Each structure stands twice: as structure tokens, then as C-alpha cells.
Amino acid sequence: DAGVIQSPRHEVTEMGQEVTLRCKPISGHDYLFWYRQTMMRGLELLIYFNNNVPIDDSGMPEDRFSAKMPNASFSTLKIQPSEPRDSAVYFCASSGGNEQFFGPGTRLTVL
């Protein structure tokens, strides 16, 4: 099993640009989570899905952030427009209802 796959691993963009982060969860897992991690705020849950349906998006910081899960094997987190304060490591994780399995993360830098 390849584990949770995230792409890209690194993204550098300019303020105002659209950014799309991608995640492929572990096959058979019915939960998918998007987290953001920064030195200042630590690990924050942004949104999670159960069976491809968004369950709780209360952690999404503002309307510039959106997430989709069109099928059980793919999810995206989009930031439009991006701002320097969005710079962080974004993790995707999946779960079968017990522990979570994290991807390697996407390091986003917004200049």
C-alpha cells in the first residue's frame, strides 16, 4: 500500500494566484481530513469528509478556501486567491474509523 499520496510536495506561488492541493487517500478508507500546520497555530483541522460528503468545514478559515471530494480516491483543497498568510504545510489524512494515516504534506509558500 502506497499510503496517502499528496501532490505537489512543494508549491511556491505569488499572492493572488489560485492554488490546488491534491490528495489520494488509502483505498477503503471512508474518512478524509485536511489539516494545516504552522509554527504559530500548530495543527488545525480544516475540513473532513465521510463517504465523500463534507461533514464539518468549520475549520476552513474563510471563503477563499474550498475542498471537494468527487470520488472515494481523490480530494482537492483549493485556495483562491492565495495570500502570504496561507503559507503553511497542508496535510491530508485518511481513516477507516480508527487511527488516521497522514500523507507527507504539501509545503505551500505564498510570496
Binding site for another protein (CB under 8 A): 4, 29-31, 33, 42-43, 45, 48, 50, 55-56, 91, 93, 95-105
CB 1, min distance to another protein, A? 14
Q: Which is nearer to another protein, 16 or 96 (CB)?
A: 96
CB 84, min distance to another protein, A? 21
Nearest in space to 91 (alpha carbons), one of 59, 54, 43: 43
Contacts of 77 (CB under 8 A, 6+ apart): 20, 21, 23, 34, 46, 47, 65, 66, 67, 90, 92
Please report where in the chains the cell 475549520 appears, as a residue.
59
Nearest in space to 47 (alpha carbons), one of 35, 39, 57: 57
d(CA 3, CA 27): 9
CB 105, min distance to another protein, A? 5
Q: Which is nearer to another protein, 61 or 81 (CB)?
A: 61
Q: Which is nearer to another protein, 12 or 43 (CB)?
A: 43
CB 76, min distance to another protein, A? 18
